[in-house]
Amino acid sequence: MIGEPVIVAGGGTDAGRVRVSNQDSHLMAGCVFAVADGMGGHAAGEVASALVVARLAGLAERPTLRPDDVRTVLADANQAIIDSAARNPAQSDMGTTVTGLCLVQVAGSTHWLVFNIGDSRVYRFADGTLTQLTEDHSHVAELVAAGEITPREALDHPLAHFVTRALGTQDFVDPDIRVFPPTPGERFLICSDGLTRELADDLIAHVLADEPVPQAAADRLVGLALAAGGRDNVTVLVVDHVASPSEPVGTTTPRARAGG
């Protein structure tokens, strides 16, 4: 039996330099990591993003997870947001993106599972290469995919913030889910669009390559997003799957600690 991945993570969030409140929420609990970017007036976005993160936190309490557990929790969170909005008129327009990463059991072995609804993102950084694992569910991502605009033009597009999938806005939840085996030494970045609208991927990759401590890398990325304008709430989690050749084979308890 192969030892479970050893994980070290760090994260940070900031309202930014323009928005009065921070509607992003995030989770680092056990081997479950998530970022949610809420939307809606009267602070309702904060309610929606906090609600899905609280539901996902429940997954971290379970001894083992399977992909269907993640799907079920996302569907439950969607219904809870819809129900809350139905009871509270001030929340009528609320919704949230959510994306993240957790360890699941598939066919008897441990795998990473990446989930996504909306335009927050998960990236994998390994061997010096930054790869976006999630696909944005946004109008501009569809235009880019169709070749009608460039990724650069997408940033300034009038509908740049329009997401085509979110929790709380549709009865049916359709998350993207991908599952793959862990590789020691890999690093993951989970972030809201407040990071990726401000910083180009090559600068993000440079920071991830240059800063070995996850908390310090997350802090630097948040700081750079603020320095670049900070036009939106920004949330960054950096999750390292530590390469530990000294780790005894047979260790079975996934370990994670926040704060790197």
**Contacts to Mg ion by CB under 5 A:** 37, 192-194, 232
C-alpha 100/C-alpha 141 separation (Å) is 19
Cβ nearer to Mg ion, comparing 13 with 91: 13
Nearest-approach distance from CB 223 to Mg ion, in angstroms: 17
Cβ nearer to Mg ion, comparing 46 with 232: 232
Instruction: Tell me which residue has tokens 């928005």.
Output: 19
Cβ nearer to Mg ion, comparing 37 with 219: 37
> Is 79 in contact with 19 (CB distance < 8 Å)?
no
Which of 227, 241, 158, 240 shows the shortest CA–CA distance to 194? 227
Nearest-approach distance from CB 23 to Mg ion, in angstroms: 7
Query: Burial of 214 by CB count in 10 Å (0-12 exposed, 13-18 middle, 19+ buried)?
Result: buried
> Is 146 in contact with 205 (CB distance < 8 Å)?
no
Which of 32, 9, 57, 14 shows the shortest CA–CA distance to 198? 14
Cβ nearer to Mg ion, comparing 193 with 240: 193
Nearest-approach distance from CB 190 to Mg ion, in angstroms: 13
Nearest-approach distance from CB 21 to Mg ion, in angstroms: 12
